[in-house]
Structure 1
Amino acid sequence: MNHSKPSLLDIQLQVLGALMLRDIRTRFGRTIWGNAVVVLWPTAHVMVLVAMMSVRSMPAPIGESLVLFIFTGMAPMIVFIYLSRKMMEGVIMNRPLLSFPDVKFFDICLSRAIAEVLNLAASVAITMLILVAIGVDPIPERPATAISALCGAFLVALGIGFMNANIVVFFPPYNIGYALVIIILYGLSGVFFVPDGMPQELYQAFLWNPMTNAIMWFRSAYYPGYGEDASPLYVLMSGGLLLLVGLIWEKTLTKRAL
């Protein structure tokens, strides 16, 4: 019987599948309830913040629904926060596996990214179903724009995730310090307010933040005429550049350090 040698692609796919399965089993156990927690955790994150803002009875800066306004800010930010952080945590958890010849640093980052994208897609869908249940219509007027904006947020998160994964190899305490970065980004990205309502000089400074542009881009799918200053090209170029820097860093410095 002729046994052909597995191709590099076959080995790559097997490694990614094994890493994803290991992450699923180690993070919240082997039961279906544990996997449900992984998906529902970001949903709970969004809904708690929506509830906190709604209790304050603040008027919506745009449109008539404060809940919808918060959701349109949180959806891209949740994608960014969880993906960029979980890729870093994946390297911390799976670093011992790098002793196996077929497991590479890139495989660990990519497997965690794929797993998180699937989880986040489910989380956003569940959040939208919950909004429907409470009487809020979460369907955008321009679905293609909303999906494109989420993809842009994903690309920025992927780039930052690779950067974080490299940093934590050289400086492990950064894993804890990144929580402060997330808090700052909450305040500077326009999740709970509209940046264009600020003084012009400050507004222009906010536009240097790719996530501010991503959130405005996403909201433009819901609010016609809003987000004209947002630059989808800037979001994509920023994410692509961060990803390129992260990959070069991995090939030149991190690979040697490991």
Structure 2
Amino acid sequence: MYYLTTHIRVVAALLIREMSTRFGNKPGGYIWAILDPAAHIAFMSVIFMGIAKLPALGTSFPLFFATGYIAFQFYSAMCGFLNGAIKSNRTLLSYPNVAPIDTIVARYVLQAATTVFVAICVLGAIIVTMHQPPELYWPAILEAAFAATLLGLGVGIFNTVMFLRYPFYEQVFNIVNRPMFLISGVFFLPDALPGPMREVVLFNPLVHVVMLFRQGFYPQYRAADLDMFYLYTFVFTVIFGGLFVFTNSAAVARGR
């Protein structure tokens, strides 16, 4: 019980430190966290409104792209923030009470809370301006968000170790991860793709996250290709693999 209490206090202290480092003491940092996704969604909406009369789902381009973008951000922002958890806090690991996993937990909590805050602000603003607000199905929304953060957690834990041990891997990962935004269903519905292409895209677990997230906003969306078993199998495989590498890495123990 003593060790659990100690780690909770350490995580709380790290959480406050990460908030101060990331957002500062002024509200500008929090405002930018909202403006950045809002600007991306607005830009995509304007571009596609000039190409098509209606989005692939519903009648609102901003809502369609927001549901895709925010769902993707639950993974992408989490993964990106966790990648450097050890490297950014290596000086603190010299203290006996600070364990490497504490830095991971602190960043996970902060990023999850930040993305939830951004999602509420951005999606809430879009829904309020709609003539016919959608009927939300919260179980699908919450499950998709949680699954995406777990996927980001697993990849982030693995990358934390690999970035320290193999700097070249960081460059390779960034190259491979960059097009994920384009092939995760943010711009399109997998159901509308031709057979061979659809089968390839469905190997991407983020496609299933986006489909599940959108089901929470579009009751008419059936997402026939949604495979929750595949999604959770992929998520927990990545988490267990990341934890295995993390707990057996001397580089993490040294913080370098």
CA contact (8 A) 2:68 2:185 kept: yes
Matched, 1:131 2:126: yes
Q: Provide the residue aligned with 1:154 in structure 2.
A: 149
Q: Post-superposition shift, 1:155?
A: 1.5
CA contact (8 A) 2:74 2:115 kept: yes
Matched, 1:106 2:101: yes
Q: Deviations over 1:59-115 (max 9, x none)?
A: 312222222221221121011110010011333321221111111221111100100
Q: Provide the residue aligned with 2:28 in structure 1.
A: 33
Q: Provide the residue aligned with 1:241 in structure 2.
A: 237
Structural mapping, 1:180-191, within 5 Å: 180-191=175-186
CA contact (8 A) 1:58 1:66 kept: no
CA contact (8 A) 2:161 2:246 kept: yes
CA contact (8 A) 1:76 1:153 kept: yes
Q: Post-superposition shift, 1:225?
A: 4.3
Match of residue 250, structure 1, among 225, 228, 246: 246
Q: Post-superposition shift, 1:239?
A: 1.2
| Aligned mates of 1:176, 1:127 — CA distance in 2 | 32
| Aligned mates of 1:52, 1:94 — CA distance in 2 | 41
Q: Provide the residue aligned with 1:226 in structure 2.
A: 222
Query: Please, which moves more after superposition, 41-50 or 66-75?
Result: 41-50
Report how many residues are paired.
Answer: 253
**Paired residue secondary structure (1:31):** coil
CA contact (8 A) 1:85 1:161 kept: yes
Match of residue 61, structure 1, among 48, 51, 56: 56
Tell me the TM-score normalized by structure 2. Answer: 0.87
Q: Provide the residue aligned with 2:75 in structure 1.
A: 80
Identity fraction in percent: 23
Cα-Cα RMSD: 2.4
Q: Post-superposition shift, 1:224?
A: 2.0
- In structure 2, do the counterparts of structure 1 residues 201 and 234 end up closer, same or farther at CA, with 3 Å as the change threshold? same
| Aligned mates of 1:132, 1:171 — CA distance in 2 | 45
Structure 1: tracts of 5 or more residues without a match: 1-5
| Aligned mates of 1:255, 1:171 — CA distance in 2 | 12
CA contact (8 A) 1:168 1:174 kept: yes
**Paired residue secondary structure (2:197):** helix
Match of residue 9, structure 2, among 4, 11, 14: 14
Q: Post-superposition shift, 1:39?
A: 5.2
Letter in 2 for 1:87: L
Q: Post-superposition shift, 1:134?
A: 3.4
| Aligned mates of 1:189, 1:143 — CA distance in 2 | 21
Match of residue 192, structure 2, among 191, 197, 207: 197
- In structure 2, do the counterparts of structure 1 residues 90 and 44 end up closer, same or farther at CA, with 3 Å as the change threshold? farther
Q: Post-superposition shift, 1:183?
A: 2.7
**Paired residue secondary structure (1:59):** coil
**Paired residue secondary structure (1:239):** helix
Match of residue 89, structure 2, among 91, 94, 103: 94
| Aligned mates of 1:89, 1:172 — CA distance in 2 | 12
Letter in 1 for 2:118: S
Structural mapping, 1:164-183, within 5 Å: 164-172=159-167, 175=170, 178-183=173-178
Q: Provide the residue aligned with 2:137 in structure 1.
A: 142
